[in-house]
Amino acid sequence: MVQHSSSTVPTALSDALLAAVDDNVRAALREDVGDGDITARLIPEHRNAHARVITREPGIFCGRPWVEAVFRELDPHTRLLWHVQDGSALEENQTLFELTGNARVLLTGERTALNFVQTLSGVATLSAHYAAQVAETPVTLLDTRKTLPGLRLAQKYAVRCGGCANHRVGLYDAFLIKENHIAACGGIEAAVSQARRIAPDKPVEVEVETLAQLEEALNANADIVMLDNFDEQALRTAVERNQGRAKLEASGNITDANLTTLAATGVDYISIGALTKHCRALDLSMRLSIEGL
């Protein structure tokens, strides 16, 4: 079981995430390797090598389970030496991990392993950037479902590595009643009542666009109310009217420029689609040396 150095990262991966890691890696290897790495066959079959993976820029590391799964899938005899853990802060030119094993295997797995690490570290780095801005406030920053297809659990794990938290994972673990749901059900109260009948144990969140709709959602006993594109003053008014009856979540057009201001309004949560949607991959490099050459 992978252990982590950052308190923001779970000390053990859930069964669902462990299964997702294996699924992610197998799909990525099928995509990249196909029926064989023809370029790696230029190298003698039994030649061994040593590789060192570095980052060319600072950030927050994430992706160790995916790297381990890549080389476990290709050749379980590959040896990995880790210099960082998920959630670790990185410096420019820092060594992340080392690999020793069959040269063909190291080269075949290079791009798949680095793709996972650079993407997930990018998510973790951006999440840490936002988390640092509200560190002195009680607000919790949440991700959204705006993730790369097939990498939902991976990106949500990376968000936690960066110090933020997860909203619902998918359409199955919580209700989020939006404008079209409200219209189709005939109103907020009807939608919330129906949700309670369908799955009494699931949290019910209602997205509202006005203070009048907020009152409707509160009167319907929603657990969470998402305040969509409310400005600072509207958020303060919403917090005042709420009086702790429900958890309040600010959402929509959250940026560096307004995050700290909105966090100070007293809302419980701020959801930011950019955590997974706008991340930029970390710049990594693998340096290979062939044994005996």
179 catalytic? Reply is no
146 flagged as catalytic = yes
> Under a CB-based contact definition with an 8 Å cutoff, are residues 161 and 6 in contact?
yes
Choosing from 52, 72, 111, 196, which is the catalytic residue?
A: 111
Q: Is 207 a catalytic residue?
A: yes
Environment class of residue 81 by beta-carbon count within 10 Å: exposed (0-12), middle (13-18) or buried (19+)?
exposed
- For residues 91-101, one letter each, b for 16 or more C-beta atoms within 10 angstroms of the residue's C-beta and e for the rest, the string is eeebebbebeb
Catalytic: which of 37, 207, 216, 249? 207
Contact 166, 8 (CB under 8 A): no
Catalytic residue, chosen from 52, 145, 146, 277, is 146
Catalytic residue among 86, 228, 249, 268: 228
Examine the residue annotation and report whether 247 is marked as an active-site residue of this protein. Answer: no
Give the count of beta carbons closer than 10 Å to the beta carbon of residue 19: 12
**DSSP assigned state of 112:** H
Distance CA 135, CA 204 (A): 27
75 vs 98: CA distance, rounded Å: 15
57 is catalytic: no
Catalytic one among 178, 202, 247, 277? 178
Q: Which residues pair with 213 in a beta bridge?
A: none
Active-site residues, by number, are 111, 146, 178, 207, 228
